[in-house]
Amino acid sequence: MKELAPGDASLIEEFTNAIRRSSGLDMPVDNPNLLEGLEMGFKMLPLLGLFRKYTKTSVHDFAGGFSDPFLREAFVGSFGLPRLLPKTLPGLADFHMIGQWTTVGAGLPPAAKDGRDVVKAICRRDRKRFVTFTP
């Protein structure tokens, strides 16, 4: 990966180190009993910071940190997730699609920002001033 995208070496190392650290954890598949649960809790203690960080980050968000476009797409695809949809359709002028499938991140704020970014790009293309108002 680092040979393909040397500019993303530090993020690649961070991710592969996280996998290395957590891959030795033997998690019970069935419901553990109290003793097994406690044992598991102790084993997980050193990894709590790691888990907290990665459970707050979506795959698309993490992939968005890569500067290499191929790596961004391949990373998302490696989790079996769909890549981001394009915002335009070839042959359909002035069509713009925005929302959670066309931008990195999930929820209403990224979808709204996606719309804002498209309007900004249209303004730039039409040489119009882009002005926003905060309610």
Shortest Å, Cβ 97 to ligand FAD? 9
Shortest Å, Cβ 102 to ligand FAD? 8
Task: Tell which residue, 37, 40, 41, 46, has the closest CA to residue 26.
Answer: 40
Shortest Å, Cβ 113 to ligand FAD? 11
Q: What is the DSSP letter of 127?
A: T
* Binding-site size, ligand FAD (CB under 6 A): 7
Q: Does 82 bind ligand FAD (CB under 6 A)?
A: no
Rounded Cα distance, 17 and 53, in Å: 14
Q: Burial-class residue 103 by CB neighbours within 10 Å (0-12, 13-18, 19+).
A: buried
Residue showing the smallest CB distance to ligand FAD in the complex: 99
Rounded Cα distance, 76 and 74, in Å: 6
Shortest Å, Cβ 11 to ligand FAD? 25
> Hey, which residues between 97 and 116 contact ligand FAD (CB under 6 A)?
99-100, 106-109, 111
Residues 66/11, Cβ–Cβ less than 8 Å: yes
Q: Which positions lie near ligand FAD, rule CB under 6 A?
A: 99-100, 106-109, 111
